Amino acid sequence: MEPVLRNGVALVEEITSWLRLPAEELDARVIGEEAHRVLLDVAALNAAAAAGDQEAFRLQQLLLARIYDLFMKIPDEPTAEGSVVVNGVLTALERATIAAEDAAVDWAVVDAAPTTPAEYLSWLKQSARGHRVFKHPYYMKFIRNHATAAHLRKYVIQESVVDGRFDDLLALMQVGTAGPAKMEIANNFWDEMGNGRPDEVHTTLFNQLYDVFDITPQELEDSLTATALLSGNLAVLLCRYRRFYPEAVGFLGMTEWLVPDRFVQVVGAWERLGLPEVGIVYHRLHITVDSQHAAGWFHNIVSPSAGSAYMRRGIARGTLWRLNSSARYLDERLAEVADLITAGT
Ligand SMILES: [Fe+2]
Ligand SMILES: [Fe+2]
């Protein structure tokens, strides 16, 4: 029998309150029946999300994001990082998230991918060009022609989960790499660090947008939608674990590759609206830098590893996760503003 979700909000708030307890204290308190009950409730939340319950999906991704914060932020007090019960919840949330993304992958297409590196690489790019996320109307129509300053403010908030910590994602995914792959990630990371110039660090440049729009950290978390939370969670999931290294290569590589075309539209909107120049430095820079990053990534990481069937399958999986999740995210953004766009504009 499928577990029944009783109160998803209460469940997420209960587990969130645990994250601020020392792991040993939490595990001494939540044991036996109590720990079992929580895992059943999380299973019910996951089942509801899998069945299409959008609020359950948002709560699932919100809880996952909060648990990932244990690994992505340095705290100023003890946390539940390393707790047995939190790890149990985390694993359940991750498995449900993985299953949902895999369900959207056309495995017959993945299995038919070319096996020589050059052909495999052009197949990857063709898969992206043929995907509905490529030249998505949210960027090509809405951002370009219609977005107001208030829309761009909202856009920045939703983008914060990836752009706001790209350096840490690179740092996580490079563990265990060697040779040209490690060198490529290091080069990319050094660009993220502004090539040693503190005021040119990419996250610093991105954070200038928070100042322009007066966005607070609390507002960031409060405003994140389900698919924005998912984008951030997928990036952490794939970069954090060594078994997902091939997927991280595909996911981050495709993220870089899609950027220039999209940011041209954001810069265009910024200029159309006459917004302060300091706020658009990040996007302007990445039109050039990310096309170089994508080229370097494909040449130095994807191609050398494409001789391995294991790597090819994982890179394709991560690429498709990125394309599919980005498409759902942009569909969600576009639906919010659909009344502002008339057909053909
Ligand atoms: Fe960057
Ligand atoms: Fe980049």
Measure the CA–CA gap between 247 and 316, rounded to whole angstroms.
7
- The whole-number average pLDDT for the span 175-187 is 97
Of 257, 238, 220, give the one whose Cα is nearest residue 126.
257
Ligand nearest to the backbone CA of 284: 1
Distance 54 CA to ligand 2 centre (A): 32
Distance 214 CA to ligand 2 centre (A): 25
pLDDT digits (tens, 9 = 90+) for 41-54: 999 999 999 999 99
Quick count: other Cβ atoms within 10 Å of Cβ 164?
19
Taking only Cα atoms into account, the Rg of the chain, rounded to an integer number of angstroms, comes to 20
pLDDT at 169 over 80: yes
pLDDT digits (tens, 9 = 90+) for 278-324: 999 999 999 999 999 999 999 999 999 999 999 999 999 999 999 99
Domain boundaries, the chain: 8-103, 108-344
Distance 313 CA to ligand 2 centre (A): 23
Domain 108-344 part of CATH 1.20.910.10: yes
- From residue 307, give the alpha-carbon distance in Å to each of 6, 116, 120, 222, 301: 49, 7, 9, 44, 11
Measure the CA–CA gap between 17 and 80, rounded to whole angstroms.
10
How far is the first Cα of the chain from the last one, in angstroms, to the nearest whole number? 50
Distance 304 CA to ligand 2 centre (A): 20
Measure the CA–CA gap between 175 and 139, rounded to whole angstroms.
34
Full-model pTM: 0.95
Residue type, 276: P
